Amino acid sequence: MTFSAVIVAAGSGVRAGPGQAKQWRRLAGKTVLRWSAEALLAGGAQKLVIVADSRARPLLDMAMKGLRGWTTTPGGATRALSVQAGLAALIDRPADEPVLIHDAARPFLGAATIQAVLKALEVADGAIPALPVADTLKSGALESNVVTKPRNDLWRAQTPQAFRRDRLLAAYAAWEGPDEPTDDGQVVERHGGRVVIAPGDPMLMKLTYPEDFAMAEQLAGRARITRMGQGFDAHRWGPGDSVWLCGVEIVHDETLIGHSDADAGLHALTDAILGAIGEGDIGDHFPPTDPQWKGASSDRFLAHAVDLVRQRGGTLVNVDVTLICERPKIKPHRAAMRERLAQILDLPLDRVSVKATTTEGMGFTGRGEGLAAQAIAVVETPA
């Protein structure tokens, strides 16, 4: 079932304490918003609309860098108005297409929840993920007498909530009264629609108060797995006057021979990243028999591998490249190589390592017949 999605991210989040609004805060190295955006895009969203304060556009662009398939629209003064703004931005999608409405403050969205609400929507006007209330409920003010309330058939509603877009728009258009709806299911209920419960996820907690972030940091490690890949590449020396290594051109009395620009450092690193996510090797994606890659700049191959990581909702953590050669000397160019790799990979400089070694005159590199490179890449992806 195809679907679109709206993430509501226009709030100020004052209950979360001082600092940036919670959707822009970092959680295990990524903004809270990006966690949800990656999950929805990886889950199959055909179009993702992020409703955000227009003044926060620089924060949004930074948070979503490298992700495709999303757009943004300004939010309203209330959550309800922001949801309607997001729905209006989906005007190019089919009117009866399912749309998932999600709160940016719920970062740990999994594929199972997405599929659960879409399936439940097949027989209803709306579907919401929810968890049964397990705690005993009490009613009353602090330090006053309390009354125990029955918890039978009570549920804790979560997001994303699923609806047909035209059905939800009609329900919002009919909403009357001074009270603001607390979720979209309530709007469809009042309009006479049938809203059903789908299985919720205990991990799908809402970040509201400062202490929630400490718990979320611990959960973030459990929601992700760490993968490591390694790559190796070698090229023969031939006639030429410069060589490309780790994206930097070095003047030299020889060049490396290959179908592309023969940048062994970038080739090894590309293979390491592809290996970390189980996507084969560079030859699977850019066959040397294909003439379009003749003389191609290898930074295109590396950028493609990084894009595949992002499409899976993953994050590149760090990389380490070792160049193996007698000549040219690498140390004078190492800083430029690290800076170029950091630029291509969109990583901080301290997560990029470039080293060089010789084989003490032994083997093909020692005899000056060729140059070799090996690389390791560490990637985090959803569990």
* Each residue's pLDDT tens digit, 9-39: 987 655 545 557 789 888 877 889 999 999 9
pLDDT for the residue numbered 282? 93
Distances in Å between the alpha carbon of 263 and those of 232, 269, 307? 12, 10, 19
CB under 8 Å to 312, separation ≥6 — which residues? 42, 277, 381, 382
Domains of the chain: 3-208 (3.90.550.10), 224-382 (3.30.1330.50)
Q: How far is CA 217 from the centre of its chain?
A: 16
- Read off the pLDDT of each residue in 359-365 and give the average, rounded to a whole number: 96
Give the pLDDT band (50/70/90) at residue 178. Answer: confident
Mean pLDDT of 191-206: 94
pLDDT value at position 328? 96
Using alpha carbons only, give the angle 110, 31, 343 rounded to the nearest 5 degrees.
110
| pLDDT score, position 315 | 85
Answer with the residue of higher pLDDT: 230 or 222.
230
Q: State residue 28's pLDDT score.
A: 76
Over residues 189-198, mean pLDDT: 96
pLDDT for 15 equals 53
Average pLDDT, the chain: 92
